[in-house]
Structures are given as C-alpha cells and as structure tokens.
Amino acid sequence: MMKALKDRTIRASIFLGLALIVAAVAGYRFRAQWVDEPLYPSPHLTEVRMLSEYHAPLEGTPMDTELYIFDSGEPGGTVLICGGNHPNEPAGYLAAVFILENLRMTEGRAIVMPRMNRGAFLHTESQEAQLPNFFIPTAHGERRFRHGSRVTNPVLQWPDPTVYVNPRGPFWDEIVAEHPEIAEGNPGPGRQTLAGVDSRNVNRMFPGDPRGTITEQLAYAIVTMIREEEVDLAVDYHEASPEYPTNNVIVAHERAADVATWAELLLSGDGVAISTDTSAMHLRGLTHREWGDAYMGIRPVLLEAPNVAQGRLKGRSTPEQIVEGLDMAYVRVQMIQKRLNERLAERARRLEERGRIPRERTRRILYVNIPETGIHIDVRVARHVQTTARLVEAYNDQMAGPPIGIADIPHYDEIIENGSGHYLHGPEGEPPAGAAREEE
C-alpha cells in the first residue's frame, strides 16, 4: 500500500514538474510578445510623437503608439503611412518599417505609424496555431519581427459582445453641416452590425469613440491626429487571404479615386499589376472610408497583397508560409480549381451544342495565382512600397494638394533583386547594406 502511494506521489511530482516547465516556457513566450522589437528610423527623422498627444487617455497604456515624423523643412503636404493595422498581415507591418528606415522628404512631411494597433501585436490569432515571430535576413544577421493578431489582445479589452455595432463618432454631423453634399447617398459612419470579435478590430470602428472601449479610443485618436495634422494623403498597408476577392488592389475613397487610378497606370509601367476599387459607402468603420468621411482634406487609400498564412485553406503554420508565401495546400487548391473549370467549360460546350445556356463557365476558389515558389514577403513589401511611391507621384501629377516629395525609397525592381532585408538595419541597429538613392 505504502509503495503504491509512493509511486503515485512520484508520478504526480513528475507531471507537476513537467506542467510547471511548460507553463514557464509559455509564460516566457507570452511576455516576449509584449516587448516591442527595436525600429531604426532613417537619419532624416525629425521628431517622434506618441498618439496619446491627440487623446490623453491612451497615455501609458499598451495601445499608445509611436508617430515618426519626417519634415523636409520645405512647404508642402503631409502623407500618412500606416502598418500594423492588422499585425497578422506581416508585409503590411514590414513595408511600413521599410519606409521608416529609408525615407527622406524633399517637400512637405511624412508621418509613419508602423504599429497602428499596438495592442494587437501582443498576442497571436486565437486557435490558429500561428507562429509568434518571423525573421528577415539582413546584411548583419537575421532580424526578428512579431507576428501578431488581427484584433486587440483580450487582456486589454474583454469580454466581446455577442453582436458589435460600430460607433457613429463625433465628426459626421459637423462635416455634414459644413459640406451637406457628402451625405448624398452616404449613410455616414457606424450603426453596422458585426460579429462580436470585431469589437477589437480597429479597422471596423473608425471614426472611433472618445469614451468607448480602448480600441474605439485608439480609432478616435488616429482620426483626431489626421484632422489636427491636416493629412493630405494616407496609405494603409494590409494583406489578404488568396480566396479573398479584394487582392492586389488599391481601395480608394472617392476623393482619392483619381490619384489611385493614375497610380495604377504608373505601376503598370513598373510591371506591377494592380487594380483600383472604390470604397463602398455601405461598409463602415474602415480606414479608406471613414478617414475620408471624417476629414474633407484627406485622400485615403488601403493596399492589399496576397498572404497564404492568413488563408482558411492553408496547411500547418510554418516560417515558409509567412516569409516565402509558400503553402502546398494552396498549390493543390489551384490544381483543383483548374480541373473544375476544365469540366465546367466542357459542360458549357455540350449545353451550347444542344441550344441551352450554361449556368456557369468558371468558378473562382482563389483570386490570385500562387506559383509553386510562393509569393515571397519581399514581393509583397515591394508592391506596397512601390505603390506608395506612385501614389505620391500621382498625387503631385494630379495637383491634388500641396506637393509631397519623397526620396531614398528603393524601386520595386531593386527590392525584388536584393531582398527587403538589404535595405533594413541589422538586428543591433547596424546600417543597411543598401545605399540610399535619390528619387528620380
């Protein structure tokens, strides 16, 4: 009897010890997500502010985030460049860091916000077995970046409601009173019914609420900053799953449509295939819609690039998914789609021979072509960076507002040839291998 009790005690102690080890490792990894990786702005940075300067209740909270300001000292407009709206979209974050570490302004100024929803960097996507980090090779070794979540960490905001209705915000009535034409066919912000989890998705709650949840207050602070700084052009970096129709696109507020379509034409000359989609007035809470409706002086756009790591059809989470954009599950889905469409085409041909009209000729499962080599993060970053450069050029060509001059941003072809890490600082802040270049 005593021997059996002793054996059980030993086994229990072993299991308890193993549980404590697992808890310690998990706790260490959890805490690591709360530590901001260092960023190394270009030497042309002129000022760093915190977003809480525009909404004091954010001060001292994990939601407060940095605004990096590059002022040329010359008169001109202001461009806002944002990453980290959804930190599980790594190329969006990395593209903003890439701009931050290379940018020089020649006219006007730029505000770079690489970690828009800093609270969503503090954890990974729930129940998705996502990797918490990704690594980019630089000339001085691998550099670590966090791979976060689409929504604010529930430690900061909980519980989620069963149904979320996004906020109306305090700006719309004022805008309509001064510019009644904006309300023609436009229902205005808020009042849209969404899933409860979207109560932590900052890109569903603009223009925000100064007295709302911590994420709604983040959205309010960003819109307040845009209004007070009189931002002329705003670019918000994102990624999307390959089965999402809005991919490789510029989503533009109607005020930015001319700039976006001109940039699309310029990008065709760079070999970058992209299309322009106008922001829908019935889809509320998004940057490209609400920033433009909250401030009449801005031309906001949102950029999407394909990312297999976000897809619902992906295989096991791997580093290759994030960096190389490679997932053989998607390659197989493409094969299935090809065979399906061959059969649909053959059926349509037989029906037409009998004088009948086929119901469908093709069916889309994926909206982008994924090569067997994947869609590397360097390609996705290069797309965002080059699109930003062309949007600024188009803005100036269209004389849409005070001139904006950007320089020292590598061209799409250079990023593809050398890799994004060639133009990033090393893990300890060592200077990039890529030499600065003048914008032609």
The answer to whether the Cα torsion of 145, 32, 198, 81 is positive or negative is negative
Rounded Cα distance between 212 and 208, Å, is 8
Report which listed range, 2-16, 29-43, 198-212, is most confident.
198-212
The pLDDT mean for the chain works out to 94
pLDDT of residue 438: 41
Q: Which residue has the higher pLDDT, 155 or 29?
A: 155
Q: Which residue has the tokens 């001319």?
A: 258
CA end-to-end span of the chain: 86
Cα 353 to the center of its chain, rounded Å: 48
Rounded Cα distance between 285 and 191, Å, is 10
- Summarised one tens digit per residue, pLDDT across range 232-256 is 999 999 999 999 999 999 999 999 9
Q: In CATH, which of 1.10.490, 3.40.630, 3.40.50, 3.10.450 is domain 29-325+375-423?
A: 3.40.630
How is 107-168 classified by DSSP, letter by letter?
ESEEEEES-TTGGGTTSPPTTTT--SEEEEEETTEEEEEE---SS--TTTS-PPPSEEE---
The pair of three-digit structure tokens given for residue 44, joined into one six-digit string: 């042309």
Reported as a pLDDT band with limits 50, 70 and 90, residue 26 is low
Numbered ranges of CATH 3.40.630 in the chain: 29-325+375-423
- Burial-class residue 215 by CB neighbours within 10 Å (0-12, 13-18, 19+): buried
pLDDT of residue 434: 84
Rounded Cα distance between 67 and 57, Å, is 17
Rounded Cα distance between 42 and 105, Å, is 11
Work out the average pLDDT over 309-323. 92
Beta bridge partners of 91: none
- Summarised one tens digit per residue, pLDDT across range 253-296 is 999 999 999 999 999 999 999 999 999 999 999 999 999 999 99
Residue 419 pLDDT > 50, yes or no?
yes
Long-range contacts of 330-333 (CB under 8 A, 24+ apart): 330/242, 330/366, 330/370, 331/370, 331/372, 333/365, 333/366
Per the CB < 8 A criterion, the answer to whether 313 and 333 are in contact is yes
- Summarised one tens digit per residue, pLDDT across range 72-86 is 999 999 999 999 999
- Summarised one tens digit per residue, pLDDT across range 115-134 is 999 999 999 988 888 999 99
Instruction: Give me the count of residues in the chain.
Output: 440
Reported as a pLDDT band with limits 50, 70 and 90, residue 361 is confident
Per the CB < 8 A criterion, the answer to whether 61 and 34 are in contact is no
Reported as a pLDDT band with limits 50, 70 and 90, residue 24 is confident
Q: Which residue has the higher pLDDT, 439 or 90?
A: 90
pLDDT of residue 115: 98
Work out the average pLDDT over 150-162. 97
Rounded Cα distance between 434 and 418, Å, is 9
Residue 5 pLDDT > 70, yes or no?
no
- Summarised one tens digit per residue, pLDDT across range 318-339 is 999 999 999 999 989 999 999 9
What percentage of the chain exceeds 70 in pLDDT? 97
Rg, C-alpha atoms of the chain: 24
Residues 342, 345, 346, 352: what is their CA dihedral angle, to the nearest 10 degrees? 180
Rounded Cα distance between 284 and 172, Å, is 13
- Summarised one tens digit per residue, pLDDT across range 391-416 is 999 999 999 899 999 999 999 999 99
pLDDT of residue 297: 97
Give 295's contacts (C-beta < 8 A, 6+ positions apart): 171, 175, 223, 226, 227, 230, 231
Rounded Cα distance between 176 and 56, Å, is 27
Rounded Cα distance between 179 and 69, Å, is 30
The pair of three-digit structure tokens given for residue 53, joined into one six-digit string: 């300067």
pLDDT of residue 436: 52
Among the listed residues 249, 75, 100, 279, the one whose alpha carbon sits nearest the alpha carbon of residue 186: 279
pLDDT of residue 440: 39
